[in-house]
Every structure is written in C-alpha cells, then in structure tokens.
Copies of this chain bind each other. A is one copy, B any other.
C-alpha cells in the first residue's frame, strides 16, 4: 500500500512566502490535481515533493516514513517532469530516452524504451537528432521518459503544454494505466485531463498578499 502525504508544509522562496500549512495526500492509484492561478505555487509544490526544494517547516511521508530519512531510496521511486525538458539536442531521440532509463538505476529487464516511444508516437523519430524536434515533439519525448522505466510516483508539471489532441489522449491513457497499476500521480495543470476526483487548490494555502506581490 503506497501512500504519499505532506503535513503542514510551508515554503519560502527568495524571501517570499509561497504557501503555508499545506497538507496533501495521495493514495495508491490516485491522481492529485494541483490547481491555482499563475504564481500560486504549483511548480513549487512539485519541486518540494521531489526533494529539489526543502520546506521551511512540515514534513513529507512515504508509506508513513519521512522522505528525508532515506532520501536516496525515495529518489528512486519518483519521476519528475518539469518545465525544462532535459533534452540533449545532439543526441537522437532514442539515445536521450535510453540514457535517462539507464540513469534510473532500474533493472534493464524492466525498462521499456521502445514501448515508451510507441506510447507517445515517437517511434518514427527514434533516430532523429533531438534538435529537429518541434515544441510538442520535445514535450512528448520528455513524457516518454516516465514510461521508459517504472516508478510508483509521477510528478508532472503542466504536461499537456504544446501537445496536440492525439498526444493529450496518449498522456491520459498513460496516466490511467499507471493508476491501474497502483501508481501515484501529482499533476499541475490548467487543463482538464480527466474527471477531477482529487483536486488540491493551492490558492487556499497562499496568503494572497505575499503570493501575488
């Protein structure tokens, strides 16, 4: 029973309070939608979850244990897709993907680079240097990364930006499949990706003055 939650998280960036006393919890097979206007702190919360930022106070628990305790193991459990795409333009699409699959440290038998390419309709671009990709193709390559090696927790920051209808469909399907396997997803988005069962509105935790200022 995987389970990821945060208690009373407060985050300060560059002397500005982003949010205070924020709680969240994601259960097995659940998708948490982070909503809120621009600048409310969705991306910040995702970085916090990944461990790229540290909260000023509060703690996060994975299966009831603090993520700080055994940070290395926790890092092996998650995939993070941020605004930046971490694509090396000199490498081909496949090389990019394979590299990140290898870095995940996951047993080679469990990796599925080819399938991931197929999921996001990139197979025919596999041997193309990534510099020739269009904005949407880059985004798809970045998303394919999370399918290429398994990890229970996905943290996605506006994954549907630049995607066309077909690719948004592929993304939805990938998320559903992941859910069915019992995976956890936290996604920040302004669009509707699926019926929002589990929504966290960040603007509730922001002090409007400081978040907007």
Q: Which residues of A contact B (CB under 8 A)?
A: 13-14, 16, 36-39, 43, 83, 124-125, 132-137, 140, 157-158, 161-167, 190, 212-213
User: Could you tell me the distance between the alpha carbons of A165 and B190 in the complex, rounded to whole angstroms?
Assistant: 7
Q: A124-B212, A161-B161, A213-B124 are in contact. Are A166 and B136 (CB under 8 A)?
A: no
Interchain CB contact under 8 A, A132 and B16? yes
Interchain CB contact under 8 A, A37 and B132? no
Residues of B within 8 A of A124 (CB): 212-213
- Copies held by the complex: 2
Residues of B within 8 A of A140 (CB): 38
Q: A124-B213, A162-B161, A162-B190 are in contact. Are A38 and B132 (CB under 8 A)?
A: no
- A sample of 16 cross-chain residue pairs with beta-carbon separation below 8 angstroms, ordered by A number, consists of A37-B166, A38-B134, A38-B162, A39-B133, A39-B137, A83-B135, A83-B162, A124-B212, A124-B213, A135-B157, A158-B161, A158-B162, A161-B161, A162-B190, A164-B190, A165-B190
**B43, B158, B164: the one within 8 Å of A37 (CB):** B164
Q: A16-B132, A132-B16, A135-B158 are in contact. Are A38 and B83 (CB under 8 A)?
A: no
Tell me the nearest residue of chain B to A209, going by C-beta: B124
Interchain CB contact under 8 A, B136 and A39? yes
11 more contacts with CB within 8 A, not counting A38-B136, A38-B137, are A36-B164, A37-B136, A38-B135, A38-B162, A38-B167, A39-B137, A83-B162, A135-B157, A158-B162, A162-B190, A163-B190
**Top 3 A-B residue pairs of the complex, sorted by shortest distance between their CB atoms:** A38-B136, A39-B134, A37-B164
Interchain CB contact under 8 A, B43 and A135? yes
Interchain CB contact under 8 A, B212 and A38? no
